[in-house]
Chain A
């Protein structure tokens, strides 16, 4: 197993309130696999990814418990220097905001070269050569000229390509792609995912794709993890999840997005209500105030993940 996350919890403390942004999540990922993480805005997807690289700013955030076994080592037990050797090298993260995630005062080339120089010890000129190759792989035209340009001279899509090149630079074993939600238009987004998938498949790189878009999951992910209010509510192979969604929240999610394989006459239903305030979670199951199948028990007891089929776990009392 490449990555095994066990009982990871990350909390934020602001104004004396504790926000359980990630609450006791466990999952694993094998070399070459792609995991899709879905859930509404604010459910803890980004925080759970940042926690893997220990990029949570403390204060206000803190990883309060858990183990993150990666290539046989617990990332949470590494020294500062050791975790730095993992960041950008063994695990790369591609951030959600292409417009703001690149440094405006350094050239694209410099920013792509940086991980090569610190992790691989390449000289400036070697790193530059490598960087131009990388920019070519992510299909940036005139890569050798564009390497000397600054981020503001690039469009959003091109910047996202640069981010991908940066992530690929050290040939990491795991890439986490926090999907740009609002910044890019859908076709560019699809193009980029396609590119990333292609580039990682050949090298057997594992991929975590964080997204709102179930279409993306269906297309690229081997398995899926559905998050709600900092917890995992359903975990399954992609095919199984779409065939037999086990959690009412997953079903609501599926009904709220258009699907290509669906008759256009089927009405889309947005999920009613608001995601809960993570600092004041409802008692019992966090989803119960919005759940169409809410039972008495749901109000008092929180369900744990349980196997409903082989490699298909759901946290819901209806399967009890």
Chain B
């Protein structure tokens, strides 16, 4: 187990290394010189080449590429994420400020995905081939196919414009009002969690069906256990263990969803910050956003793998 953890952590670091190179390269090859952008943004007017060269040197941009890369990584690790071109704020501060909002959305969307996908997947497996099963399986494809932005629009129209159940947009911090907060995140998190709900129900269904076909289920019945016990203690546990990996599979959608959903619902989180930075060509912010997205996805996938290994005795307990 220890060896396994170590290996997974190392792999994650290796991938992170490649990602950092990709982001670094992206910053150099894509048109739009960060210095130029910075100078334009600071409205200093047309500048002589000397001044520009000066500023470049200040940013370390006249150094060889690999040195630039090392400088960038080391300052990033030390918490120096640069300064936003658009607002002049320190990027790390901007990030920390918005992090709780986005974490709440992540958390909420996973909860939605679970509470919708899990029970539907279970009933659909237990009532195999019934109309319910067919509805759930078809609905699951709809769930993974529906674009977040359209789902968001339909939700806003139905529950904010037509019925006024939820506010159409905006975010109420938890510290201000608990109900207000929950109402303001209900729709956005639902939209972000739909993909996961669809995936969950599909995986739960097929995993449970597979387990129900195993020999040990027959053994459990032969012991005289009632169907309920067989399903709850003998089928559920082995069926649910692989399902935790779905969190990893859907995580990319959840993260991407945050960008669109925060933009649509005017929620002051990291996604909105990222989209605005992209609109404004605010390179330091874009760069930090990309790095943190990658770190986030890698960490979540690592945790999922470890959780899976922990839950499955075949991995956890060695021979």
* A interface residue numbers (CB < 8 A to B): 50, 53, 55, 84-89, 92-93, 95, 97, 100-106, 114-115, 118-119, 149-150, 152-153, 163, 166
Q: Output the nearest chain A residue to B219 by Cβ-Cβ distance.
A: A101
**Chain B residues with CB under 8 A of A89:** 224
Across the interface, which residues of A come within 8 angstroms of B223, CB to CB?
87-88, 114-115, 118, 166
What is the minimal beta-carbon distance from B220 to any residue of chain A, in angstroms? 7
Interface 0/1 of B187-230, CB less than 8 Å to A: 00000000000000000000000000011101111111110010
What 11 new A-B contacts, CB under 8 Å, besides A87-B221, A101-B219, A105-B241?
A55-B221, A84-B224, A88-B224, A95-B215, A95-B222, A102-B219, A103-B238, A105-B238, A106-B233, A114-B225, A152-B317
The interface size bin for chain B is 20 to 34
Residues of A within 8 A of B225 (CB): 84, 88, 114, 118
The number of inter-chain residue pairs (CB within 8 angstroms) is 75
Contact partners of A149 in chain B: CB under 8 A: 317
Contact with B226, one of A53, A84, A100, A153 (Cβ below 8 angstroms): A84
Q: Which residue of A lies closest to B223 (CB)?
A: A88
Q: How would you classify the secondary structure of chain B's contact residues: helix, strand, loop or mixed?
A: helix
Does B314 reach chain A (CB closer than 8 Å)? yes
Does chain A have a CB within 8 A of B66? no
Q: Which residue of A lies closest to B316 (CB)?
A: A150
Chain B hits for A166, CB < 8 A: 219, 223
Q: Whole-angstrom distance between the alpha carbons of A32 and B319 in the complex?
A: 39
| Contact assessment for A101 and B221 in the assembled complex, using a CB-CB cutoff below 8 Å | no
**Chain A residue contacts of B312, Cβ below 8 A:** 105
B215 and A106 contacting across the interface, CB-CB below 8 Å: no
| A55-B221, A88-B223, A118-B224 given; A103·B216 CB < 8 A | yes
Alpha-carbon distance between A102 and B225 when the two chains are bound, in angstroms: 14
By a beta-carbon cutoff of 8 Å, the part of chain B in contact with chain A is 214-216, 218-226, 229, 233-234, 237-238, 241, 312-314, 317, 319
Q: Is the CB of B317 within 8 A of A55?
A: no
- In this complex, the member of B215, B238, B241 whose beta carbon has the largest number of chain A beta carbons within 10 angstroms is B215
Q: Please determine whether B226 and A102 come into contact, CB atoms closer than 8 angstroms.
A: no
Q: How many angstroms between the C-alpha atoms of A318 and B277 in the bound complex?
A: 94
B224 touches A150 (CB 8 A): no
Nearest-CB distance from B173 to chain A (Å)?
42
B221 to chain A: closest residue by CB = A55
Please tell me if the beta carbons of A53 and B317 are within 8 angstroms of each other in the complex: no
Rounded to whole angstroms, the CA-CA distance of A100 and B234 in the bound complex is: 13
Choose from B222, B233, B238 the contact partner of A53 (Cβ within 8 Å): B222
Taking CB atoms, residues of chain B closer than 8 Å to A153 are 317, 319
- Using A97-B215, A152-B319 as known contacts, say yes or no to A103 and B224 having CB atoms under 8 A apart: no
Q: Which residue of B lies closest to A53 (CB)?
A: B222
